[in-house]
Amino acid sequence: MMQSAPSTSAAPGIFGYTFSLVGILAFAVILFWAVVALFAPQIAPYPIGKIVDMDYFGPMSSKLWLGSDYLGRDMLSRIIFGARYTLGIALAGVLIASSSGVILGMAAAVVGGWFDTALSRFMDAMISIPSKLFGLVVVAAVGSSLPSLILTLAFIYTPGSYRFARALAVNVNTMDFITVARIRGENTLYLAISEILPNIIRPVLADFGIRFVFIVLLLSGLSFLGLGVQPPLADWGALVHENIQGLSFGSAAVIAPSIAIASLTISVNLLIDNLPRKIRDRSA
């Protein structure tokens, strides 16, 4: 097949990968929010708790780009600082949830037997607890602090990630190359990390992204109920919550954080659906 017809369209590849436009745009949006979160104190025009406007729910102006909130604080600054909490808490939560879920899932698939059964039934029991209710109980018990919030979110989303990773790993585990590695004398850790993980990493990443979105939404939900990040700090969900009265005034204070949540969650999903694809067509 080497002497094939000349190529009719040039491969749009860099380093042997194809990038889609949607993926690049989504990545740009995520990068934008990451930069905003990282440099929030430098970017924000006003301090987070400072009342700068005499009016509440003030309109958009050249001084206050997104208007003011229910206490007359600058909305833009609050969104910029909110990015830190939304992105930071959600990222920490999803990292803990997905990594522990994936590690346990692969271990269950490789070890099998009673370990798999016991762990799987335990995780099934965890899944049966409603997530918001669990969040309420934890916050009621230990109060709302950033670490407890992160751990609660991670705890809620670990079983789902475990189930997903275990299902994938069980399939890979039956392949002959795993048998070959086993009778070479390899240990469980090597089997999981080196033989199974590279084969399930793509779906696991997709799951990671979806879980990230779920956590952002749950965090926003908890904050909306007043159980998330505590004032004067606020994540985006809390911003929507505290400015909800502004809805009747048509204030930007409600719509702006909602748009921020939507743009982040949609971008994460679009990026995962459009990750760069490796070009397999090597004879080119």
72 in Cβ contact with 62 (< 8 Å): no
9 binds other proteins (CB under 8 A): yes
**CB 279, min distance to other proteins, A:** 5
Quick check: helix, strand or coil at residue 69? Answer: coil
**CA-closest candidate to residue 218, choices 88, 131, 280:** 131
Q: Which is nearer to other proteins, 154 or 192 (CB)?
A: 192
CB 52 within 8 A of CB 64: yes
- Choice from 53, 69, 195, 242 touching other proteins (CB under 8 A): 195
In angstroms, give the least distance from the CB of 101 to other proteins.
20
- Give the nearest distance from C-beta 174 to other proteins in angstroms: 9
CB of residue 277 vs other proteins: minimum separation in angstroms? 8
DSSP structural state of residue 129: S
191 vs 229, beta carbon nearer other proteins: 191
- Tokens 């109920």 correspond to 225
Minimum Å distance from CB 210 to other proteins? 22
CB-based contact 270:22 (threshold 8 Å): yes
Please report, as residue ranges, which positions from 17 to 46 form the binding site for other proteins (by CB under 8 A): 18
Is residue 112 part of the contact set for other proteins (CB under 8 A)? Answer: no
Taking each helix axis from N to C terminus, what angle separates 75-111 and 197-224, rounded to the nearest 10 degrees? Answer: 140
Q: Which residue has the tokens 């793509």?
A: 202
Quick one: 182 or 263, whose CB is closer to other proteins? Answer: 182
C-alpha 266/C-alpha 66 separation (Å) is 22
CB of 179 to other proteins, least distance (A): 6
Residues 200-219 within binding reach of other proteins (CB under 8 A): 201
Interface pick for other proteins out of 31, 125, 180, 193 (rule CB under 8 A)? 180
Quick one: CA torsion of 132, 133, 135, 137, rounded to 10 degrees? 170
Q: Could you give the maximum distance between any two Cα atoms of the chain, in Å? A: 76
Q: Name which of 8 and 128 has its Cβ closer to other proteins.
A: 8
Per-residue contact flags (x/-) with other proteins for residues 125 to 144, judged by CB under 8 A: --------------------
Residue 160 CA to residue 205 CA, distance in Å, equals: 14
Number of residues that bind other proteins (CB under 8 A): 31
Of 214, 160, 222, 169, the residue nearest 192 (C-alpha): 169
Binding site for other proteins (CB under 8 A): 1, 4-5, 7-9, 11, 13, 18, 175-177, 179-186, 194-195, 198-199, 201, 277, 279-282, 284
